[in-house]
Amino acid sequence: MRKSLLLVLLALVAGAVSAQSPVPAAPSVGATSYVLTDFHSDSVIADREADARVEPASITKLMTSYVVFSEIEQGRLSLSDEVLISEKAWRTEGSRMFVEVGERVTVEELLKGVIIQSGNDASVALAEHVGGTETVFADMMNEEARKLGMDNTRYVNATGLPHPEQYTTARDVARLAAALIESFPDFYGWYSEREYTYNDIRQHNRNRLLWRDPSVDGLKTGHTESAGYCLVTSAMRDGMRLISVVMGTESEEARATASQALLNYGFRFFETYQLYQSGDELSVERIWKGAADELPVGVAEDLFLTIPRGRYDALEARLEVNGTLTAPVSEGQRIGRLVVALDDSDLVERPLVALSDVERAGFFGRSIDGLRLWVGGLFGGD
């Protein structure tokens, strides 16, 4: 009988270097907290106080737009819908899109006012239109946060204006940024727009890295006196996408410099590979008492891995099958696990699943296999 442990060596990448110097420590940046993650693998490359609760400031507007995008995707809202601007929205303090009370503005215009101009008035207008009141809309924001696993985040308003009960963490913000990129690719391009004009008033995106680094394509700035200067950034180089979240720096320049340093560090010293695709056949296992004798196995989801640059050739993967496989087995059924290791240290584990159905054999087939298993058990064969 085939043993449950199967060693699978990953193919070498052309030009990969077998020897690798130790990865240097992440740069020291002047921020209350930060995190640098890879979008595809969800790996944390660098972090400091990433789970500390902090004031989100206008980073809050990432969730404001996320909720509105969700409403559009579900057919309950349209970009062309017109929103009546209330006096509350018009009077909202802080950064503004400069909408006028009583006028009608489309959802698309307001979204661009939120994303590019960081308009608090636009945020309140959308919140009131979608939720009826900003309070109800905040409940919707919190529900989406719960679904995304943002366990250390709570929203009270749609703007990010200071409130003692509104908080988030750098790690939760990175999770939200990744969800925005993955779930709403048709809207994500707005986060890279450098300016937007409404009512003949042109305003620039406050994300300075959109001008400095061509690989940067989002996402959002934030600032209040109590929160400091914050920046959520995403960048793509050679197919590798990183997300940087920097909270509580001292100035606009400081948040841009810190974010750039983290991104450069991640791209310079790490690389991300797609090791397996969903449905890839990783092995063919013996299955007993079934209409077929063999069962193809693989992973149910794409598997990406972020590792120190130049270490791909040192990766090893092993398949661990849960004992003797016996029919019936359904496609997608977990039958073991895949483990990928580097330098004898396990990096990632994923469920190993059946890639096809195998029905039970008839009485004669089951009887023959039962006899073979019995004999194999007696004499140690397979």
Q: What percent of the chain has pLDDT over 70?
A: 89
Q: 144, exposed or middle or buried, with CB in 10 Å at 0-12, 13-18, 19+?
A: middle
Domain 33-273 in CATH: superfamily?
DD-peptidase/beta-lactamase superfamily (3.40.710.10)
- What are the pLDDT digits (tens) for 207-250? 999 999 999 999 999 999 999 999 999 999 999 999 999 999 99
As a whole number of angstroms, the distance between CA 300 and CA 354 comes to 9
One DSSP character per residue, 21-47 reads PPPPPPPP---SEEEEEETTT--EEEE
Q: Is the pLDDT of residue 351 over 50?
A: yes
Per-residue pLDDT, 287: 83
Per-residue pLDDT, 289: 75
CATH class of 279-379: mainly beta
Predicted confidence band of residue 372 (pLDDT cuts 50, 70, 90)? low
Summarize the confidence of residues 40-54 as an average pLDDT: 97
Per-residue pLDDT, 329: 86
Worst-scoring range by mean pLDDT, 96-110, 163-177, 304-318, 351-365?
A: 351-365
Worst-scoring range by mean pLDDT, 170-174, 204-208, 366-370?
A: 366-370
Per-residue pLDDT, 16: 36
Per-residue pLDDT, 9: 33
Parse the chain into domains and list their residue ranges. 33-273, 279-379
User: What mean pLDDT, rounded, does the chain reach?
Assistant: 89
Q: Which residues form the catalytic set?
A: 58, 61, 118
Per-residue pLDDT, 285: 87
Per-residue pLDDT, 362: 56
Please check whether residue 231 is in contact with residue 253, taking contact to mean a CB–CB distance below 8 angstroms.
no
